[in-house]
Amino acid sequence: MKTISTILTGVTLAATLAGASVPTFAADTIKIGDINSYSGLPSFTEPYRKGWQLALEEINAAGGVNGKKLEVISKDDGGKPADAVTAANELVANDGVVMLVGTFFSNIGLAVSDFANQKKTFFLASEPLTDAITWSKGNRYTFRLRPPNYVQAAMLAEEAAKLPAKKWATIAPNYEYGQSAVAVFKKLLSAKRPDIQWVGEQWPPQGKIDAGAVVAAIAETQPDAILNVTFGPDLVKLVREGNTRGLFKGRTVVSFLTGEPEYLDPLKDETPEGWIVTGYPWDGVKIPEHAAFLKAYQAKYNDYPRMGSVVGYATLKSAAAILAKAKSTDSEKLVDAAEGLGTETPFGKITFRKADHQSTLGTFVGKTALKDGKGVLTDVIYRDGAKYLPPESEVTALRPQN
Amino acid sequence: MAFLFNQFVTGLASASSLFLAACGLSIIFGVSRIVNFSHGAFYMLGAYVAFTLSEHLAGALGFWSAIALSALIVAALGAVVEIVLLRRVYAAHELLQLLLTFGVTLVVEDVVVLIWGPSDLLGPRAPGFKGALNLFGQPFPTYDLLLIALGPLTLIVIQLLLRRTHWGVLVRAATQDREMVAALGVNQQWLFTSVFTLGIFLAAFGGALELPREAVSHTMDLQIITEVLVVVVIGGLGNVLGTFLAAIIVSELNAFGILIFPKISIVLVFLVMAIVLVVRPWGLLGRPEAASRAASGLQVMRWSPLSVRGRLVLAAGIVAAALLPLIAGNYALTVASEVLIFMLFAASLHLLVGAGGLVSFGHSAYFGLGAYGAALTLKHFGMTAGLAIGPCAGLVSALIFGWFCVRLSGVYFAMLTLAFAQIVWSIAFQWTDVTGGDNGLIGIWPSAWAASAAHFYWLTLALVVLGIAALRVILFSPFGYALRALRDSELRAEAIGLSRHRIQWMAFAAAGTFAALAGALHAFLKGSVFPDDLGIPLSIDALAMVLLGGAGTVSGGVVGAALYKTFSIWVIGETDYSKLVIGTLIIVLVSAFPQGVLGALAAWRNRSSTGERKDLALGEAR
């Protein structure tokens, strides 16, 4: 009996806490809902938050959007898709946000994009890299900022094809990101260089690499070059073990994301030299828009920007540009405005393609080097995503036909 | 040949490192029967503290003293945790210690980020052990050689401590018969504290030794905790030599396994554990657990069905819940649906844990299979079929896995359920063509008739009420009494002709079915299914719900789920440090109400109604 009343109290409590009242829409602000893995992946999401906070400050200082101030309501998804959907629901149904932005992990990005499609809410996925989000699982309401796996693979495969190496081995985390990165890279490189042989592959579980065994197993296949897709703590273990065991000696390594400060900085004096990587050399970017961003960021936070900072900043700037062009908060109008929209980011001008809702944001490709006991990037070139994405006429076929 | 030898030695180094992390857990379990979930957290703390110390202490001496000092500091912290927290719950249900240490883990995970920041940290390499030497033409890190030596050395020191010292004799005696040791006048409390401290010392030592090999990060604990638990269980609980053997077997199988199946690592340890436990129910070197002399920790409460008045109130409550859509908005309704779903999930686990005394660490397997079953059915046959097929998937898999599990008991039972859950998880994770891999299945939305938040809420309410009602009917049926009889005294129950295996197997199947129903509903609520729905965290959450509500009460699961789920949904929305908040809450609740919220209520009511302190063990619970 007490039981029942307790249950009811619980449910009522849930309702009350959740704010059972009718959502209120303040007339003088436009609310944007942000979801990210703040507790699960703070090394990326802390800079990400700083990035969008800086953008928010700049936008509102310049008078906001359409005469209204922007407001961001930010939620943690705890790294779980189910919690991300709850957060999305709260933002849309309770807080009255006009669009959703954010997410890091591919599965969370997909869960939120599917939610957005179901609820006909605009969603700008900032970070998730899976190709599926704009192609095989793409939908009308979802746009994505960062260059997908395919683009990063295409940039690296282009460099890899120039190498004399014929025998290649791959090391990638055993989940969708690693699998699709390897698959696309293999496909593109083999297309350019039919003479290439794939001699070995290792698939350590994400976060649990047994680096010694993996390094020895790869060394045994005697590749000329290695593709690496691991990142974070796994990368550190791999690099340390590989350095000690001489795996990288006389071999070129091509590596996804390793040049991003989030992953390069922890390597400190163990940074292997000469790896061909995608990344973000924050102090070596020559793009004019970046100089202003860097100055403002360092002035506000007394710290240098990470990749996450740029993503957070560009996400909110893009969101503001979409709202400004739509002159409305209606989802359909936002989608129409975003299709083909050009906007400024710290990496220069980007366009959200009409055919697949993918932005043309690019990334940097360079070589790792060691300088004063720290990892840096040299020979860096910015690669525009537009040049590496499949043409718009082709991608339509990749998307579900409604 | 040289390569294979090199791979073998590399495996030995991994084994040593795994053993160093795991041996403390084995010792703690052997004596105090605590499944110390926070072992990984202390391992991680050891690495973090060693990192900070190594920044300040220079030179070779500095590095090694940083390692030793770190282990000592973290061990002292462990002692404080034992004295302040764990001592309070030794008398309660064994699982509460698990829950308490789970709370500690959550807190530590957030605290290290607050103290050391979010970035991965790179510690120095060990002075004198920076390079590699040539092993039959293959480079081999000298530090790995050091580890290979340290593992067996630690094993010998532990064995000497346990075999040759007075303290060791007492510890072994306590391992075999705690009550007898206490009766002989040994101060158990300090014995337990010393054992726990030693275990934590070893955990921190193991973590600190990883400094030259890997990055220090706030995910270190999760990377290691299941692995060390598995190794300890494979070896046989409380048997340090067994742990050592298990570490070697697992590491060598991995080192060679990846040469043939590069994707094997993700599931290997669980496969090994499942096979070992099926063949040897107490692990490689373990022995059957001696039955505790007094039913320590078991709080038998009399269970009774609801009175007429209770039923009326219940009916009124359900009607009130059914009226919720009249006042609540869409978001509140989806949250309420989610809470209801977890009430059913926890109630199904409660049938096993509360009534059956069978602790499952892998209950999420059935929740997730229900979700996947429903999602895959939806594509071809629609939602109604999905809601029917989902529970069937749970039933079938629970029948299969349960058949093996009920042959085991205690922690071994729990770990075998965990092994099966992890095997299912890795299948869902890998079988991209069918399950979508970790990208999951999306677009699992309810049919039009149930699409609105209110309609789906009503559907959920109806199914959950029916489910919980069915579970209560089972609890108070002759079958339910038989299940509880087996929990309370297996020997007596079997003596009067109850078949343990058959009855517990049926309970397992029933629990799996209702968990799967909850999972199927959850798939439609979220519109998606992911391997997360089969994961360990979900199983632990469900256990937390049952225990916080009170495993010894009839409705503990239901109430615990309502409180825990509501609170966690709310907290995650409010702060990035939800783990810190939830962990602290768990610690406080477990310390304050070891018998769960409902158990505490029941005890309080009994006390006030009779006007005198009644023995808690006879309290009545509903």
Most confident of A219-233, B184-198, B261-275: A219-233
CB contact B152 to A (< 8 Å): no
Measured between alpha carbons, how far is A293 from A309 in angstroms, rounded to an integer? Answer: 10
Same domain, B321 and B220: no
Last residue of a domain, one of B198, B224, B250: B224
Mean pLDDT of A118-144: 95
Same domain, A251 and A241: yes
Give the pLDDT confidence score for residue B210 in this predicted structure. Answer: 93
| Chain A CB contacts of B429 below 8 Å | 175
Beta bridge partners of A255: A228, A277
Mean pLDDT of B579-607: 87
Inter-chain CB proximity A106 and B439 less than 8 Å: yes
pLDDT above 60 (res B622) = no
Place of tokens 């890190």: B141
B607 min Cα distance to partner chain A (Å): 16
Give the pLDDT confidence score for residue B180 in this predicted structure. Answer: 84
Give the pLDDT confidence score for residue B593 in this predicted structure. Answer: 86
Q: A221: which 2 tokens?
A: 């296949």
Same domain, A45 and A139: yes
Inter-chain CB proximity B332 and A241 less than 8 Å: no
Is residue A163 included in any domain, yes or no?
Answer: yes
**CB contact at 8 A, B305 and B469:** no
Question: What angle, 0 to 180 degrees and rounded to 10, lies between the N-to-C axes of helices B166-176 and B188-209?
Answer: 100
The residue among B460, B472, B598, B480 whose CA lies nearest residue B525 is B460
Give the pLDDT confidence score for residue B294 in this predicted structure. Answer: 41
pLDDT above 80 (res B239) = yes
| Chain A CB contacts of B554 below 8 Å | 3
Task: Say how many C-beta atoms besides its own lie within 10 A of residue A384's C-beta.
Answer: 17
- Average pLDDT over all residues of chain A: 91
Same domain, A208 and A273: yes
Residue-wise pLDDT tens digits, B470-484: 999 999 999 999 999
Inter-chain CB proximity B578 and A179 less than 8 Å: no
> CA–CA distance from B73 to each of A57, B66, B86, B142 (Å)?
44, 10, 19, 27
Per cent of chain B over pLDDT 90 is 64
- Structurally, chain A folds into a number of domains equal to 2
Same domain, A121 and A163: no
The residue in chain B having the minimum alpha-carbon distance to the alpha carbon of residue A19 is: B332
Inter-chain CB proximity B263 and A42 less than 8 Å: no
* DSSP-based three-state secondary structure for B437: helix
Residue-wise pLDDT tens digits, A146-160: 999 999 999 999 999
What are the φ/ψ torsions at residue A383 (nearest 5 degrees)? -110, 120
Same domain, B372 and B481: yes
CA angle B58, B63, B68 (to 5 degrees): 135
Tell me the residues of chain B between 34 and 93 that have a Cβ less than 8 Å away from chain A: none
CB contact B255 to A (< 8 Å): yes
Same domain, A357 and A383: no
Inter-chain CB proximity B140 and A87 less than 8 Å: no
Choose the closest CB to A205 out of B265, B329, B442: B265
CB contact B222 to A (< 8 Å): yes
The residue among A270, A23, A322 whose CA lies nearest residue A145 is A322
Same domain, A156 and A132: no
A247 min Cα distance to partner chain B (Å): 9
| Chain A CB contacts of B144 below 8 Å | 212
The residue in chain A having the minimum alpha-carbon distance to the alpha carbon of residue B328 is: A20
Report the phi/psi class of residue A33: left, alpha or beta, with left for phi > 0 and alpha for psi in -120 to 50: beta
Give the pLDDT confidence score for residue A97 in this predicted structure. Answer: 96
Per cent of chain B over pLDDT 70 is 96
Q: Which amino acid is at B348?
A: S
Mean pLDDT of B597-604: 83
Same domain, A300 and A256: no
Last residue of a domain, one of B224, B243, B276: B224
| Chain A CB contacts of B120 below 8 Å | 43, 232-233, 236, 266
B172 min Cα distance to partner chain A (Å): 34
Same domain, A157 and A243: yes
CB contact B182 to A (< 8 Å): no
Inter-chain CB proximity B440 and A42 less than 8 Å: no
At A127, which CATH number?
3.40.50.2300
Same domain, A380 and A261: yes
Same domain, A347 and A328: yes
B608 burial via Cβ count (<10 Å: 0-12, 13-18, 19+): exposed
B180 min Cα distance to partner chain A (Å): 39
DSSP B284-333: SS--PPPPPSS-TT----EE----HHHHHHHHHHHHHHHTHHHH--HHHH
What are the φ/ψ torsions at residue B441 (nearest 5 degrees)? -110, 125
Residue-wise pLDDT tens digits, B300-317: 677 888 888 989 999 999
Measured between alpha carbons, how far is B147 from B115 in angstroms, rounded to an integer? Answer: 29
The residue among A265, A295, A299 whose CA lies nearest residue A279 is A265
> CA–CA distance from B309 to each of B305, B468, B604 (Å)?
11, 19, 20
Distance from first CA to last CA of chain B, Å, rounded? Answer: 67
Strands B132-135 and A374-383: unpaired
Is residue A196 included in any domain, yes or no?
Answer: yes
Beta bridge partners of A375: A370
Is residue B118 included in any domain, yes or no?
Answer: yes
**CB contact at 8 A, B336 and B502:** no
Q: How confident is the model at residue A27 (pLDDT cuts 50, 70, 90)?
A: low
The residue in chain A having the minimum alpha-carbon distance to the alpha carbon of residue B119 is: A43
The residue in chain A having the minimum alpha-carbon distance to the alpha carbon of residue B111 is: A39
Is residue A18 included in any domain, yes or no?
Answer: no
- Average pLDDT over all residues of chain B: 89
| Structural domain boundaries enclosing A376 | 150-282+363-387
Inter-chain CB proximity A1 and B306 less than 8 Å: yes
Place of tokens 């079958």: B479
The residue among B114, B618, B432, B562 whose CA lies nearest residue A8 is B562
Number of Cβ pairs < 8 A linking chain A and chain B: 286
Same domain, B206 and B317: no
Mean pLDDT of B150-165: 94
Minimum mean pLDDT range among A169-183, B10-24, B84-98, B478-492: B84-98
Inter-chain CB proximity A90 and B443 less than 8 Å: no
pLDDT above 90 (res B404) = yes
Same domain, B333 and B190: no
Inter-chain CB proximity B559 and A7 less than 8 Å: yes
Q: Which run of H or of E encompasses B501?
A: helix B500-526
| Chain A CB contacts of B578 below 8 Å | 39, 76, 78
| Chain A CB contacts of B320 below 8 Å | 8
Give the pLDDT confidence score for residue B266 in this predicted structure. Answer: 85
| Chain A CB contacts of B10 below 8 Å | 212-213, 216
Inter-chain CB proximity B140 and A22 less than 8 Å: no
B392 min Cα distance to partner chain A (Å): 23
Inter-chain CB proximity B442 and A205 less than 8 Å: no
Same domain, B323 and B194: no
Sign, Cα dihedral of A187, A189, A194, A198? negative
- Structurally, chain B folds into a number of domains equal to 2
Is residue B292 included in any domain, yes or no?
Answer: no
Is residue B326 included in any domain, yes or no?
Answer: yes
CA atoms within 13 A on the CB side of B132: 20
Same domain, A381 and A273: yes
Give the pLDDT confidence score for residue B444 in this predicted structure. Answer: 93
pLDDT above 60 (res B436) = yes
What are the φ/ψ torsions at residue A388 (nearest 5 degrees)? -110, -20
Residue-wise pLDDT tens digits, A238-286: 999 999 999 999 999 999 999 999 999 999 999 999 999 999 999 989 8
Give the pLDDT confidence score for residue B29 in this predicted structure. Answer: 85
CB contact B128 to A (< 8 Å): no
pLDDT above 70 (res B299) = no
Same domain, A323 and A245: no
Minimum mean pLDDT range among B34-38, B113-117, B600-604: B600-604
| Structural domain boundaries enclosing B150 | 2-224
The residue in chain B having the minimum alpha-carbon distance to the alpha carbon of residue A249 is: B139
**CB contact at 8 A, A74 and A332:** no
The residue among A168, A164, A160 whose CA lies nearest residue A199 is A168
| Chain B CB contacts of A25 below 8 Å | none
Q: How confident is the model at residue B488 (pLDDT cuts 50, 70, 90)?
A: confident
Minimum mean pLDDT range among A94-103, A248-257, B289-298: B289-298
Inter-chain CB proximity B214 and A211 less than 8 Å: yes
Last residue of a domain, one of B194, B224, B254: B224
Same domain, B215 and B319: no
Measured between alpha carbons, how far is B356 from B475 in angstroms, rounded to an integer? Answer: 10
pLDDT above 70 (res A18) = no
Choose the closest CB to B335 out of A14, A43, A240: A14
Give the pLDDT confidence score for residue B401 in this predicted structure. Answer: 96
